[in-house]
Structure 1
Amino acid sequence: MAFYESQKSGLGVAFAEEVLATIQRILRLPLAWPTISKQCRRCLTKRFPFGIIYSIKQEYILIVAIMPLSRKPGYWEKRTGQ
């Protein structure tokens, strides 16, 4: 968020709002996005090059990572115990 805000005033807030909107889409339709590992799925943000990695648990959805798409795939896997 700080990076985007340093690029243009208000862009950091726009990034945070986009992440929250993406999480809301996940909460409404958690099975709508493709699996990327045994336990996790990924939903892409619409405006910024990020994916939200999440796992569906019995009583909640765990956000594992807010991942820049330029980052090495799978870096977040150690967070899930996979």
Structure 2
Amino acid sequence: MRVLFRPQARVELFDAQDWYEARAPGLGLEFARAFEAALQSACRHPAGFAEVEEGCRRVVLRRFPYSLYYRVDGDQLLVVAVFHHRRPPSARQGRSD
């Protein structure tokens, strides 16, 4: 499956990784691995995760308080957000289109 990122989702991913790395060396890499595992799960089972909006699904990362939000269109998976659980859902509204 081909993976694409919305620009804002890519920024969210790198910002989170940088934040964790600044807290403890190696923690940013652990976050990146948790994200990659969630992404691979979504690619293997694109319809297997909770639909949070019409056509938009969510994978919760292990160990970190983040979720990966994505849409599937044919053989493409579009990452629309990498979202911290404490952020208000309204900050993500409209990004799954």
State the AA in 2 paired with 1:45: L
**Residue 3, structure 1, aligned to residue 37, structure 2:** no
Count of matched residue pairs: 81
Amino acid at match of 2:33: E
Q: TM-score, normalised by structure 2?
A: 0.77
Indicate the structure with greater helix content: 2
**Shift of the alpha carbon at 1:56?**
1.1
Q: Is the 8 A contact 1:35 1:42 kept in 2?
A: yes
TM-score (structure 1 length as normaliser) = 0.90
1:24-80 deviation per Cα after TM superposition (whole angstroms, max 9, x unaligned): 010011111110001201010011000000001122111101111111114223233
Call closer, same or farther: CA 1:39–1:74 in 2, change over 3 Å: farther
Task: Name the one with the larger strand percent.
Answer: 2
2:87 aligned counterpart, secondary structure: coil
Residue 41 of structure 2 corresponds to residue 25 of structure 1: yes
Q: 1:58 to 1:77 in 2, by over 3 A?
A: farther
Structure 2 stretches lacking a partner, 5+ long: 1-16
Q: Distance in 2 between matches of 1:16 and 1:70?
A: 19
Correspondence for 2:60 among 32, 44, 48: 44
Over the matched positions of the two proteins, sequence identity in percent amounts to 30
- What amino acid sits opposite 1:29 in the alignment? H
Q: Where do 4+ consecutive residues of structure 1 move more than 3 Å?
A: none
- Across the aligned residues of Structure 1 and Structure 2, the Cα RMSD in angstroms comes to 1.1
Q: Distance in 1 between matches of 2:59 and 2:50?
A: 8
